[in-house]
Copies of this chain bind each other. A is one copy, B any other.
Amino acid sequence: MLWNSIYETALLKRFPYLSLRPASGGEMATIHDVAQDAGVSPTTVSRYLNNRIELPPATAARIDAAIKKLDYRPNLLAKRLSTGKTEAVGLVTPEIREPFFAELASAFEDEADHHGYTVFMSSTRSDRKREIASLERLQDGHVDGLLMMTNTPDDGTLAGLIGERRNVVIVDEDIPGVSVPRLFVENSEGAYQATRHLIEAGHRRIAYLGGPQGLLTVTERREGFLMAMNEAGIAVRSEYVAMGSFAPELARAATVRFLELPLPPTAIFASSDYLAIGAVMGLRDANVSVPDEVSLIGFDDIAFSTLLTPPLSAVRQPVEQLGRQGFLTLLALLNGETPPLLTRLPVELIRRQSVAAPTSKDFRA
């Protein structure tokens, strides 16, 4: 069949040769060329361009004219070698495919762009080697600074590499043992609120889906969960708790196991939306409806939460702010300022339709 042919042939002939660059393919003009054309020295041009000298209007005009005429653009590589600055920052995420990190990255890049920085994004796929590689790029002068996110517990390697650097900011998840600015959310508070929300709806058999051991967010969210349970005088049953990974597949399996219990939970708190997605799949596997049979609440509030059926209630992380403030903190660091070493951003409970009162028949415990 002749798919596409009409459109393509039509367009292919529209712009036979187009280039805005005067000497496309030719040599780029250097600062020496500009200097020569303007009848001054390269030093003068350099200082003029960097606002380190005030020139008489006539000279300035000649330089401007030469720049325009030759279409001069400073060679960034040379500039960097001279100054040691790159005007670029790195953004290290475990997995850019996950909406939480993608949204954070998007906000971070936008903010960086406003400040004239370009960003090196990197998705490590939780590979320690790649995390290390990002740090080495920093060391090698690839970038001026780094915003680092990881979600696998550190054995001291990352901490060693980061040490006391004055150009790294850590966001979302801790890397213990470093003395760089850290930007977290109120994990315990959020988990506490989510759990309270379930308890106030009348639930007492509440299951918990947690992430890998050894992570700050995991520990803190569990603390918040436990605090709410304690406060309400509800004992936490070990068979209602599944921890160890952020993988949706494991959450799915754990959820199925929960539901096979003689006395299954009436509510599930997933300590990340990615885990909540696993729970949704598990609940669907077991043909259990939300929130009629089991209530579900997540943590993150990624954009897709509203599209689930029913729309997912969740603790909302200020992901946009995490990204923007992350960059601003890094920028402060690069400018020699000393931003606070620890910032906690507030979270917010978003009530949608995935939490309801338990049905009375299930209310035996």
Q: A-side interface residues toward B, CB under 8 Å?
A: 1, 3-4, 6-8, 11-12, 14-15, 17-21, 24-25, 73-78, 80-81, 84, 86, 88, 95-97, 99, 102-103, 105-106, 109-110, 113, 118-123, 125, 130, 133, 136-137, 139-142, 156-157, 159-161, 163-164, 174, 176-178, 186-189, 216, 219-220, 223-224, 277, 280-281, 303-304, 307-309, 342, 344
Contacts of A113 in B (CB 8 A): 130, 133
Contacts of A342 in B (CB 8 A): 8
Q: Is the CB of B78 within 8 A of A15?
A: no
User: Roughly how many angstroms separate A321 CA and B143 CA in the complex, as a whole number?
Assistant: 29
**New contact pairs (18) apart from A18-B159, A96-B105, CB-CB < 8 Å:** A3-B220, A4-B187, A4-B220, A7-B220, A8-B342, A11-B174, A14-B176, A18-B160, A20-B157, A20-B160, A21-B163, A74-B140, A75-B141, A77-B77, A95-B106, A109-B122, A113-B133, A119-B120
Q: How far is the CB of A215 from chain B (nearest CB, A)?
A: 10
User: Roughly how many angstroms separate A14 CA and B8 CA in the complex, as a whole number?
Assistant: 63
Q: How far is the CB of A85 from chain B (nearest CB, A)?
A: 10
Contacts of A18 in B (CB 8 A): 156, 159-160, 163, 177
User: Roughly how many angstroms separate A189 CA and B1 CA in the complex, as a whole number?
Assistant: 9
User: Roughly how many angstroms separate A298 CA and B271 CA in the complex, as a whole number?
Assistant: 31
Option from B20, B103, B130, B309 in Cβ contact (under 8 Å) with A97: B103
User: Roughly how many angstroms separate A176 CA and B156 CA in the complex, as a whole number?
Assistant: 51
User: Roughly how many angstroms separate A103 CA and B97 CA in the complex, as a whole number?
Assistant: 5
User: Roughly how many angstroms separate A48 CA and B342 CA in the complex, as a whole number?
Assistant: 46
User: Roughly how many angstroms separate A88 CA and B119 CA in the complex, as a whole number?
Assistant: 12
How many protomers of this protein does the assembly include? 2
Q: Is the CB of A142 within 8 A of B15?
A: no
User: Roughly how many angstroms separate A140 CA and B72 CA in the complex, as a whole number?
Assistant: 11
User: Roughly how many angstroms separate A335 CA and B157 CA in the complex, as a whole number?
Assistant: 36
Q: Is the CB of B141 within 8 A of A76?
A: yes
A76-B140, A139-B73 known; A110-B96 Cβ under 8 A: no
Contacts of A140 in B (CB 8 A): 73-76
Contacts of A77 in B (CB 8 A): 77, 80-81, 84, 86, 141
A7-B223, A75-B141 known; A163-B19 Cβ under 8 A: yes
Contacts of A84 in B (CB 8 A): 77
Q: How far is the CB of A336 from chain B (nearest CB, A)?
A: 15
Closest chain B residue, CB of each to CB of A310 = B309
User: Roughly how many angstroms separate A3 CA and B15 CA in the complex, as a whole number?
Assistant: 63
Q: How far is the CB of A353 from chain B (nearest CB, A)?
A: 11
Closest chain B residue, CB of each to CB of A309 = B309
User: Roughly how many angstroms separate A308 CA and B308 CA in the complex, as a whole number?
Assistant: 6
